[in-house]
Copies of this chain bind each other. A is one copy, B any other.
Amino acid sequence: MTEPTSNRIAIIAVHGTMDLAYPPLILATSALALDMEAAIFFTFFGLDIIKKGKADKLQIAPIANPSMPMPVPNIVGMLPGMTAVATGMMNGWMKNANVAKLSDLLTLAVEGGVRMIACQMTMDVMGIKKEDLIDGIEVGGAAAFLSYASQNAITLSF
């Protein structure tokens, strides 16, 4: 077995949908379990993931997502309520498979020492204040991410 060349993972979370909030948190917490370091940079809609009380309310949209296994054409996906139906369905499957809730993964990440960086620029643009975010978040810019990511890191974005 060769020695690993990366001992940390640096992730950018750009989206605020339920399905795309899982990969950063699962990878970061899995990295901790493998004795790696981890950081997540939350930017644009990704900031939604770390807003207080928001994680378990993130939605998945059935529209424009041809992979969503729902027998609905776009026109039906349009009906008010279908996003909620798709989200509820997915949440039910997650629970049945004993997948942790997003809020639990967030707690695991923060308590396990994942560096959680909220994008300063996005906060300025969207008028988000630090007190709108969960505890344990640091505020920073692209330079903070690049500096962390330039040291032997696996780098990914979702």
**Chain A residues engaging chain B, CB cutoff 8 angstroms:** 2, 4-7, 9-10, 12, 14-17, 19-20, 22-23, 26-27, 30-31, 33-34, 36, 43-45, 48, 58-61, 63-69, 73-75, 77-83, 93-94, 96-97, 99, 121, 124-127, 141-143, 145-147, 149-158
Contacts and interface: CB of A to CB of B under 8 A. Distances in A.
17 contacts: A4-B150, A4-B151, A10-B154, A12-B156, A19-B45, A33-B143, A45-B65, A45-B68, A58-B66, A60-B66, A61-B74, A75-B78, A97-B125, A99-B124, A99-B125, A154-B155, A155-B155
A80 B74 contact: yes
Instruction: Please state the number of chain copies in the assembly.
Output: 3
Contacts of A153: 6, 154
Nearest to A7: B150
Contacts of A125: 93-94, 96-97, 99
Nearest to A87: B66
